Amino acid sequence: MNITVFGAGYVGLVTAACFAEVGNRVMCVDIDADKVKRLKEGHCPIYEPGLEALLQKTITSSHLVFTTDVAEGVAHGTLQFIAVGTPPQEDGSVDRQHVLAVAKTIAQHMEGYKIIVNKSTVPVGTAALVKQTVQTVLGERGVAFDFAVTSNPEFLKEGAALKDFRSPDRIIIGSDNELAAEQMQALYAPFNRSHDRVICMDVRSAELTKYAANALLATKISFMNELSHVAETLGADIEQVRVGIGSDERIGHQFIYPGCGYGGSCFPKDVIGLISTAQQADCASDILTAVDNVNQRQKQVLFSKLSRYFNDQLEGKTIAVWGLAFKPNTDDLREASSRTLIEALWEAGAKVQAYDPIAMDNFQASYGRRADLLLCRTANEALKEADALVIVTEWNEFRSPDFGMIKQSLHSPVIIDGRNLYDPHFLAQQGFFYDSIGRPCIMPQTVKAKQAPATTEVA
């Protein structure tokens, strides 16, 4: 098939590359000439495992091309995918101007039948607005062409996007046009071989499905984070609770890991967007509001733990931070908990020495060069002469470190762990003050008194 994808961002690039990989002729359109030039050269503007290699492969095979020429893009594909950004506005509502601008562009240049596919995450009713926009422009041109508008939301996890696209849990097709639905099913046939993953529904239900999925996952995270406060207060261990409830198949083990708050391009924006949609429809959104409130509070936890340890005297301290991206295997800093922590540390007069395997360039671009920020080449380098270590992102390389070296590098053996990577009892035995999420904070001397020989000095 001939496919056009508008938007060379995260969703657009993954969509374009994966459709091209199976033999379709794909043209990806973006108005950023610099980005398009780099993409033509095979350079991916975002970090996603395997994506740059796939882009290079499909460009070399001529199945994927990039252009800034919107007219060329409209002429190329019968299927016109809209995969542009839908950022939140100040009131929390979703900004659909880029989606509607693409719809207008398609209508201005189309000369025949088109299937317009909303891949962007958009509020319920957006497909109707796209249809209205196209009809209005065609009327202004004095022409009449058949077209269909469908909803085909993405369910890609950053860090595993190619796997998610190639082997999806489900393929949602929202359409009120039988022919368009059939063509969409034919398009997705290469990704739907082992068993039928296609779920056809009406357009408005498809639009809501995307928001509902992300909001429910965010709800599980916030629920566990709220429960972590209860566990910590009562002297229980949230990790043991997690295993206990996760063994119930009705609950499962996914998305019930306590931490320092969710971030990224989807969950925060989509929860707020769904709250705004509900409010506009005069519907209550108490649970969704609580989910967001808990998440905002949870992002303050690491700073609160640090501040409490240092008796609110953080001025002049140097804090090592491991992990900047909102999750592993991405360089995405949007709504990352690291930002909340580091900005609070700066406000308190502390200096930050940070390390992340992938996201440091983006962090530097966001904050520039500062006297109170040192971005380090390795995790060990970030520890040197620091007063404490804070773990924000659960990269694999942080899971089994040299604790002796950590203790030797830090001025004080203090670890604040936002991802519960380590065993509190083991670290207490090693002489660390170790505070994590939803677990008792065991002081080093307590464990030493119980387990160490009487002649052993407490570190």
What is the phi/psi pair of residue 435, to 5°?
-120, 125
Parallel, antiparallel, or unpaired: how do β-strands 114-118 and 147-151 relate? parallel
Residue 10 parent element (H or E): helix 10-21
DSSP letter at 438 equals S
Give me the residues paired with residue 65 across strands.
27
Residues of 201-217 as b/e, b for ≥16 C-beta within 10 angstroms? bebbebbbbbbebbbeb
Run of H or E including 82: strand 79-82
Distances (CA, A) of 302 to 212, 305, 358, 407: 29, 5, 22, 20
* Whole-angstrom distance, CA of residue 332 vs CA of residue 386: 26
User: Is 266 a known active-site residue?
Assistant: yes
Other CB atoms within 10 A of residue 324 CB? 29
Helix (H) or strand (E) holding 4, with range, is strand 2-6
Helices (H), 119-177: 126-141, 161-166
Distance CA 317, CA 389 (A): 11
Choose, from 18, 28, 260, 266, the residue flagged as catalytic: 266
Amino acid type, 79: L
| Residue at token pair 């996760």 | 246
Reduced to 3 states, what is the DSSP secondary structure of residue 199? Answer: strand
What are the respective helix, strand and coil percentages of the chain, to the nearest 5?
45, 15, 40
Q: Which residues touch 67 (CB under 8 Å, ≥6 apart)? A: 27, 28, 29, 36, 73
SS3 (DSSP) at 432: coil
CB distance 185 to 173 below 8 Å: yes
CA separation (Å) from 335 to 17, 23, 266? 27, 36, 10
Active-site positions read: 266
